[in-house]
Structure 1
Amino acid sequence: MTDQPESARPGAPRLTTREAAELLGVKPETVYAYVSRGQLNSARAAGGRGSTFDADEVRALARRSGRRDPSPAGGDLVFRTGLTLIEGDRCYFRGVDATELARRYGYEEVAEWLWTGEPRPGARFTAPAGPLAAARRAIGALPAHSGSTDRLRVAVTAAAATDALRFDLSPEAVLNSARGLIPTLVAALPTLGDPAPEGSSLARELWSRLTAEPADTPSLAVLDAALALLIDHDLAASTLAARVAASARAHPYAVVSAGLGVLEGPLHGAASGLAHRMLQEAVDRGSAVPVVADHLRTGRRVPGLGHRLYRGEDPRATLLFDLLARTPRAAAALAAAREVMATTARHAPLHANVDLALAVLSVSRGMAADAGETVFAVARTAGWIAHALEEYGERPLRIRPSGQYTGPRP
């Protein structure tokens, strides 16, 4: 460790502490930890205010620690995250296979794992009375034809208005808000079937908002696993929007609102609705072959197939298909889905994704076409909160790409 005057190496390029931290991808405090361990040399800045660092030395340390130089303006943004890894056609939450987590734990337990990295067996979320009442009133004022995402966005805004402490961005406060917000979103939706018994899991609470058909154990297992699997999936479009909001230090409710706004796009959360309609048509016609043929003839992609992050079948779909195979009520829809996959495979090497598996559940249990989008939105709320917690620990407003102007010159 050295702390010599800046003039000790005249002409050498120097970085401020903030610049060195950005290059290394760490917080300023960590830069000084590197100095104390002898991994970096610092020099007093002119006037004795702060420290400066040799740029070449910082870059060498960045290479040794596996850090990347910041992307150029307009290039791809890369975020360091300790939440989700997608590698080798598998998905991991904090280093644990997401499908194994979904097999063994419920949605709330997996959410707690993603948030804290600590197991909380038997975790249950409860909707606070005040925010829930406000959310229900707000949803009740919407037109009858409003979609589920419309209702969820309104519910988030209403719940936020009741939380005077929403601007407290400490981890404990953010998690307390999240544990109340997620069940509020579910409980504020209109009830279609028998209400869940008191103390039920979030999956059971959500079931009565998705269908009037009675819940059964195999179907609830599918829904709970789907919620757990959809909690996070790296930097999807809605998650990026959530991190941008968190970078501006928006409160957690606003972060969720940002995510919901992007989720509604037909290429993101709403994609499951397209798979539902396609699969329902295949069931109604008694064969998937003419349905797939119609899509190919008109140049439309077959919904529920293919994923840019997986070479083979989406591992989330694989687990859900396995659980659906144990659900007698899903037999017809599952057979139709497998026929869709087999028919399409003759023309293109596409594999099933999680949207097709969600469609099997929604079609087989009399759910609306947007049921998969509702499941997606509720599940991913926990992921957006997890990313917000990470982003609150970064430098504010760091997500600021530069525009490349192409309009007329002044």
Structure 2
Amino acid sequence: MRDQEPGPEGRRLTTREAAELLGVKPETVYAYVSRGHLSSRRAPGGRGSTFDAREVETLARRNRRESAPGSGSGAELSVRTALTLIEGDRYYFRGVDATELAARHSYEEVAEWLWTGRLRPGVTFTAPAASVAAARRAAGALPEHAGPVDRLRVAAVAAAAADPLRFDLAEKSVLATARTLIPTLVAALGPADPTDRDEGPLARRLWGRLSGRPADDKTLRVLDTALALLVDHDLAASTLAVRVAASARAHAYAAVSAGLGVLEGPLHGAASGLAHKLIVEVLDRGDAGPVIAEELRAGRRIPGLGHRLYTGEDPRARLLFTLLRELPQCEPALAAVHDIVATAARHTPLHANVDLALAVFTASFTMPATAGETIFAVGRTAGWIAHALEEYGERPLRMRPSGMYVGSKPPQPLPRPLPE
């Protein structure tokens, strides 16, 4: 029975009816409301909420189209999200300019904004001793040549195994996991300064795993800003993997592991490392000309230049370069970057992107070439959690594309065994 007779504005549905029409739980209906996909109104007498039937039906049709086999028709996959918008060579977190957020707030504060839509001034993340111990033991068992992403992936699995409540996907529980998982990953990257008790701002703790040099406030500000800038960037390949895992209701640790797995690919997470090596080589030779010439002769793209989502300058790089110019240690690497951009412009004029800015930072403080990838992975973990939270509010297994079979037409005869 309807809770209200059809009025001039159209028929209204109860929460239960809206949930049935959408094929979701009642809690997800309210998640749709909080994200702006549906509007609600208190029912007469104040018992529960009602929903415009036309809005619900429109959303249900959209959901069906997304899950229908072959619905892509060759187009790129699109996923509704209220997290990040990239528009006009700028990007926004929940509608707020992301570079302004990163310039004024810490990484932890920006992460909280992306997760909850609320700022928590002065928030810091800490991890339980048991989680850190499990992650460090697992990462410590890896061979010496293991890279930082190897350590992060193993640490995520170990932290999950140490958490018996990891399958609780309620928003409050996932947020609690996020606030402990990120510092656990940092702690597992290796021994820090003996005086570091894994407390205080995350950037300070991460610095001790990246560089043997002491850090002042300006240096830590660059690292903290880089982490905040890298929190999210729409549906990058690793983020899509996280959403697919969350769609299958994998717990938050497993969703983050999926993102880290994609980050291992040379076309996604390794770009800053290649840019780091490019800067070091230009500094060694004293001239970008022969270095760029060799890259072009080998048919390779110049790392750190251009971005498919920006026609102009990468806004993340713009802010980082502004901060890097305040550090005297970065002057040689910044001069090398100017030479690289000017030399490459003779072939194809492209702007420097965030990978090149990160490379200036890592090369200037004698960090390993993998340091930029580490910064990226730690920073982006917050965004992966935000996307997992969004996906937990959607219909399960909605990201199930249909394969287009191009093999031999059946029926085929049984294969013959190979001769011994």
Per the normalisation by structure 2, the TM-score is: 0.84
CA-to-partner distance for each residue in 1:61-95, whole Å, 9 max, x for gaps?
899xx999544366422111111010000011111
Structure 2 distance, partners of 1:239, 1:38, is 33
Residue number in structure 1 paired with 2:350: 350
Q: Which residue number corresponds to residue 370 of structure 1?
A: 370
- Runs ≥4 in structure 1, deviation > 2 angstroms? 16-22, 26-41, 66-76, 191-200
Partner of 2:326: 326
Counterpart in 1 of 2:405? 405
5 Å matches for 1:1-400? 21=22, 36=50, 40=54, 58=57, 70=66, 71-72=71-72, 75-191=75-191, 195-196=195-196, 199-400=199-400
Q: CA deviation at 1:37?
A: 5.7
Relative to structure 1, is the Cα distance of residues 374 and 403 closer, same or farther in structure 2, using a 3 angstrom cutoff?
Answer: same
Quick one: which amino acid aligns to residue 306 of structure 2?
G
Deviation at 1:27, TM superposition (A): 5.7
What is the CA–CA distance in structure 2 between the aligned matches of 1:243 and 1:348, rounded to whole Å?
35
Q: Relative to 1, partners in 2 of residues 1:172 and 1:137: Cα closer, same or farther, differing over 3 Å?
A: same
Identify if the C-alpha distance between structure 1 residues 199 and 142 changes in structure 2 by more than 3 Å, giving closer, same or farther: closer
SS in 1 for 2:54: coil
Q: Which amino acid aligns with 2:129?
A: A
Q: Give secondary structure in 2 for the equivalent of 1:86.
A: strand
Q: Give the superposed CA RMSD.
A: 2.7
Q: Distance in 1 between matches of 2:50 and 2:131?
A: 48
Moved more, 331-340 or 316-325: 331-340
**Deviations 1:288-347 (CA, angstroms, capped at 9, x unpaired):** 222112112222110000100000111000000000000111110111111111111122
Q: In 2 relative to 1, CA 18–37 (structure 1 residues): closer, same or farther, beyond 3 Å?
A: closer
Q: Which amino acid aligns with 1:395?
A: R
| 2:39/2:52 contact within 8 Å kept | no
Q: CA deviation at 1:36?
A: 4.9
Q: How far apart in 1 are the matches of 2:166 and 2:178?
A: 10
Separation of aligned partners in 2, 1:244 and 1:396: 10
Question: What's the secondary structure of 1:40's corresponding residue?
Answer: helix
Deviates more, 1:290-299 or 1:193-202: 193-202
State the Cα distance separating 1:194 from its structure 2 match.
6.1
Q: What is the CA–CA distance in structure 1 between the aligned matches of 2:236 and 2:197, rounded to whole Å?
A: 35
Task: Assess if the C-alpha contact under 8 Å between 1:74 and 1:404 holds in 2.
Answer: no
Distance 1:304 1:194 in 2: 35
- Tell me how far 1:217 sits from its aligned partner: 1.9
Provide the rounded CA distance (Å) in 2 between the counterparts of 1:289 and 1:373: 26
Give the distance between the partners of 1:40 and 1:152, measured in 2 at CA: 46
* In structure 2, C-alpha distance between the alignment counterparts of 1:72 and 1:271, rounded to whole Å: 29
The answer to which of 195-204 and 135-144 deviates more is 195-204
- Residue identity in the other structure for 1:266: P
**Contact 2:18/2:51, CA 8 A, preserved across alignment:** no
CA distance in 2, matches of 1:192, 1:122: 23
Q: 113-122 or 68-77, which moves further after superposition?
A: 68-77
Counterparts in 2 of 1:226 and 1:407: CA distance versus 1, 3 Å:
same
Deviation, 1:191, is 2.8
Matched residue, 2:416:
none
Given that 2:134 and 2:158 are in contact with CA atoms closer than 8 Å, whether structure 1 keeps it comes out as yes
Identity %, equivalent residues: 64
Q: Which runs of 5+ in 1 are unaligned?
A: 4-15, 42-52
> 1:280–1:363: 8 Å Cα contact kept in structure 2?
yes
